[in-house]
Amino acid sequence: MEASKTKVHLWAPQRRRTVSAMATEMELVTEAIRGADLCTMCIARKVGAAPLSIISTLAALGQRMKITEAVTRCSGCRSVRSTHRI
């Protein structure tokens, strides 16, 4: 007797966004680095996004407002790294 094979297809509903993902991420990054020196990894952890995404968001954000970048102690992980601050 041959075993039956069953295929399972999962359907996940897609979320509709009213605001673009980049705009939402920009707001989250702006809020995260306002008044705190944070490295890219801590910003990514706080926002819940990939580090490469944070880098492109910081570049886009830098065209709209002044972002200070310095090698100093990160407020999140407390290690000396390149940090960002508004």
**Per residue of the chain (86 residues), what is the pLDDT tens digit?**
555 555 544 554 544 444 466 668 899 999 999 989 999 999 999 999 999 999 999 999 999 999 999 999 999 999 999 999 99
Architecture of the domain delimited by 21-85: Orthogonal Bundle (1.10)
Q: What is the pLDDT of residue 22?
A: 60
What pLDDT is recorded for position 71? 96
| Nearest residue to 72 via CA among 84, 62, 61 | 84
Write down the residue that tokens 């819940």 correspond to.
48
Domain ranges, ordered by start, for the chain: 21-85
Helices (H) then strands (E): counts for the chain: 3, 3
41 CB-near residues (< 8 Å, 6+ apart): 51, 77, 81
- For the chain, strand residue ranges (E) read 38-39, 68-73, 80-85
